[in-house]
Amino acid sequence: MASADNPSRERILGRIRAAVQTTAPHHDGPAGQMFAPVTDPLERFQKECAANITECTVTADTAASAAAIANVLASVPPGEIFAQDAPELRALVSAFKDGRPLRWSSEGPPNEASQATITLCEALVAQTGSVLVSSANGGRQATVIAPVHIVFAKLNQLVPDLEAVFARVYERGIASKNSYVCLITGSSRTADIEKILIMGAHGPRRLIVVLQTGG
């Protein structure tokens, strides 16, 4: 939009520039460490997942990961499964091939009626038990639309804390390469009625992380 269409822009900026000529007093205080350092990321990640209601399964190799995913899918009602089209997930395809329709992200976004989605992630955060995804993980809807979201991750994707995950975001250009990034912590929830915690508001009711340590 040309600035001619938005004359307020210059007026607002003019007022801001005039105002910030003078800097306001700053409240000074000690800025120590907010959080104790994370010493054992894997242990912490599992602990946090348990607390925020993420189902975390640690697997040793590809076969075990495939089995873990197959195990989850066995409990999912009939209907389409959606998966991010990535070599890592293609390699695990035996796990999803349980007779139901399978849609890859290369074919477009998931159908609204998808029963489960399977994606990779950008990173895992031990401090909060979170999963960082972006639009590269099968798109925006892939990680929110179905009642079940399964994330397949490798141990080298696990970072200790939020500071570290942002370092990774910068390093790998995650925020500049993608129009959408989301830090997911647990499954969708609400406490808007009488402060009672209810799982599965608009997003997935179940978030499952299959974390492969080897292979």
Partner 1 sequence: MSTAGQEFLRKAAEKSSDLVHRGIVRWNIDQYDTGVGKGKTRFADWSAARQRCHDIKWEGVNHLDKYLLQFEQKVKENGGHVFWAETGEEARQYICDVAARHGVKKVVKSKSMVSEEIHLAQAMEKMGIEVVETDLGEFIVQLRNEPPYHIVTPAMHLNRQQVSKLFHEKLGAAETLDPPELVAIARRWLRKDFFSAEMGISGANFIIADAGMLTITTNEGNGRLSTSVPRIHVALTGIEKVIPRLQDLATLWPTLATTGTGQPITCYNTLMGGARRAGEVDGPEEFHVVLVDNGRSELLADLEQREVLHCIRCGACINACPVFRNIGGHAYGVTYPGPIGSVLEPRLLGFKEYQHLSFASSLCGACTDVCPVHIELHHHLLHNRRNAIHEGTHSASERLGIKLFRWMMMSARRFRFFGWLGRMALRVIHGMGLEGTVLDPMRPWTKDRAAPAMPRESFRDLWRKQNGVR
Whose Cβ is closer to partner 1: residue 151's or residue 165's?
165
Whose Cβ is closer to partner 1: residue 135's or residue 213's?
135
Nearest distance from C-beta of residue 162 to partner 1, angstroms = 4
Q: Contact, 62 vs 91, CB < 8 A?
A: yes
Between CA 180 and CA 38 the distance in angstroms is 27
Nearest distance from C-beta of residue 61 to partner 1, angstroms = 29
Whose Cβ is closer to partner 1: residue 19's or residue 74's?
19
Q: Contact, 213 vs 46, CB < 8 A?
A: no
Q: Which two tokens stand for residue 141?
A: 């809807």
Nearest distance from C-beta of residue 55 to partner 1, angstroms = 15
Nearest distance from C-beta of residue 152 to partner 1, angstroms = 17
Between CA 35 and CA 126 the distance in angstroms is 13
Whose Cβ is closer to partner 1: residue 39's or residue 74's?
39
Between CA 52 and CA 211 the distance in angstroms is 16
